[in-house]
């Protein structure tokens, strides 16, 4: 009972308040940003509207500077529920294109990150030489590399999903590698010494001690990695001139200044992100609970 009440007053109510505040500010911003355009228009047309009529006008422009929340919601609804799944206008279809690249890149990036982390933990020469460059690799803005990867791969005949996925890989391997190095090194000396008294081999230490100990680190880092993966996939759709995917919708919206469409695409991307992160979060909790973690 008390736990439930604590959750309500301590979490849910504040979060809902903030969300409501965001919507209110958003409507306010729509008035502020669209108002001047309408005034301008009215001056030329020689008419004026006041009070509520004016406010309603700011919330119902066809090509507003700042679309109102309900306009975005309507557009989002139209492009998801209102069109066929296979249609070129369906946001679900575009989301799926981006998601598939995200997931492929995420899988590759996670595998790469884990392999790098295991090598770094076991080969001292790699620890000293590779780790600094892994950090440096992330200071290269990914978009600088994105067109390169796409051009390079196109030149050797690879197009479609893989180039985008590789950008996701580039962004997602880093948190996994860094987090897993920490995780694989997290067993304390006591446990390591215990394994040594059993004369366990390096492989046994890895499987029976290091990897179980790194599980919480693993899930914490793939939560970051999957969000990064999605960004990689979206960004990867920009320089390719892709015809499908959330990135391509953003690009198309920006060509025609269709702010409502851009916002709808943004909402689709955000929903993808929330779904992915939640999925990883739940999986992590389940696995950790099965491994005997508290709560």
Residues binding another protein (CB under 8 A): 2-3, 6, 10-11, 13-19, 22, 33, 65, 124-125, 127-133, 135-136, 138-145, 147-148, 151-152, 155-156, 223, 227, 230-231, 234-235, 238-239, 246, 250-251, 253-254, 257, 259, 262-263, 265-266, 269-270, 273-274, 277
- In the complex, the smallest distance separating the C-beta of residue 140 from another protein, rounded to whole angstroms, is 4
Angle between helices 211-236 and 142-155 (to 10 degrees): 80
Q: Which is nearer to another protein, 142 or 180 (CB)?
A: 142
Closest distance of CB 95 from another protein, Å: 12
Is the CB of 115 or the CB of 211 nearer to another protein?
A: 115
Burial grade of 50 (CB within 10 A; 0-12, 13-18, 19 or more): exposed
Q: Exposed, middle or buried, 287 (CB in 10 Å: 0-12/13-18/19+)?
A: middle
Using CA atoms, how far apart are residues 147 and 159, in angstroms rounded to an integer? 12
| Of residues 49, 71, 46, 51, the one with CA closest to residue 60 | 71
Q: Select 211 or 244, whichever has its Cβ closest to another protein.
A: 244
Least CB distance from residue 111 to another protein, whole Å? 22
Rounded CA-CA distance 183/201 in Å is: 19
Shortest distance (Å) from residue 48 CB to another protein: 25
Q: Given the complex with another protein, which of 173 and 263 has the nearer CB atom?
A: 263
Asked whether 169 and 107 are in contact (CB, 8 A), the reply is no
C-beta of 160: minimal distance to another protein in Å? 18
Least Å distance between CB 148 and another protein?
Answer: 6
Nearest to 236 by CA among 39, 102, 49: 102
> Distance between CA atoms of 239 and 226, rounded to whole angstroms?
21
Place of tokens 């993966």: 229
Least distance CB 283 / another protein (angstroms): 16
Give, for 5, the enclosing helix (H) or strand (E): helix 2-7
DSSP 57-124: HHTS-SS-SS--HHHHHHHHHHHHTSS-TTSTT-HHHHHHHHHHHHHHHHHHHHHHHHHHHHHHHH-H
Q: Which residue's CB is nearer to another protein, number 32 or number 212?
A: 32
Whose Cβ is closer to another protein: residue 62's or residue 124's? Answer: 124
From 69, 37, 107, 56, select the one nearest 264 (Cα to Cα). Answer: 69
Burial 200-211 (b: 16+ CB within 10 A, else e): beeeebbeebbb
Q: How far is the CB of 198 from another protein (least distance, A)?
A: 26
Residue 147 or 187 having the CB closest to another protein: 147
Nearer to another protein, 118 or 233 (CB): 233
């Amino acid at each position: 009972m008390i736990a439930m009440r604590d959750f309500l007053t301590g979490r849910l109510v504040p979060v809902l308040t903030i969300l409501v505040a965001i919507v209110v500010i958003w409507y306010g911003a729509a008035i502020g940003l669209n108002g001047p355009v309408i005034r301008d228009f009215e001056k030329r047309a020689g008419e004026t509207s006041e009070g509520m009529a004016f406010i309603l006008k700011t919330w119902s422009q066809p090509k507003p500077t700042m679309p109102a929340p309900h306009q975005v919601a309507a557009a989002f609804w139209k492009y998801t529920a209102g069109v066929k799944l296979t249609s070129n206008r369906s946001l679900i279809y575009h989301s799926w294109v981006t998601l598939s690249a995200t997931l492929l890149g995420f899988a590759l990036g996670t595998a790469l990150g884990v392999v790098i982390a295991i090598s770094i933990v076991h080969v001292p020469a790699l620890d000293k030489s590779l780790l600094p460059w892994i950090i440096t690799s992330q200071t290269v803005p990914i978009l600088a590399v994105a067109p390169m990867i796409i051009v390079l791969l196109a030149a050797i005949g690879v197009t479609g999903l893989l180039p985008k996925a590789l950008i996701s890989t580039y962004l997602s391997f880093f948190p996994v590698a860094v987090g897993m190095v920490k995780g694989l090194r997290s067993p304390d000396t006591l446990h390591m010494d215990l394994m040594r008294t059993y004369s366990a081999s390096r492989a046994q230490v890895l499987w029976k001690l290091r990897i179980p100990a790194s599980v919480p680190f693993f899930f914490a880092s793939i939560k970051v990695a999957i969000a990064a993966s999605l960004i990689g996939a979206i960004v990867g759709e920009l320089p390719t001139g892709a015809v499908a995917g959330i990135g391509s919708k953003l690009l198309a919206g920006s060509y025609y200044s269709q702010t409502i469409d851009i916002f709808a695409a943004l909402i689709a991307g955000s929903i993808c992100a929330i779904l992915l992160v939640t999925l990883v979060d739940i999986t992590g909790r389940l696995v950790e609970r099965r491994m005997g973690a508290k709560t």
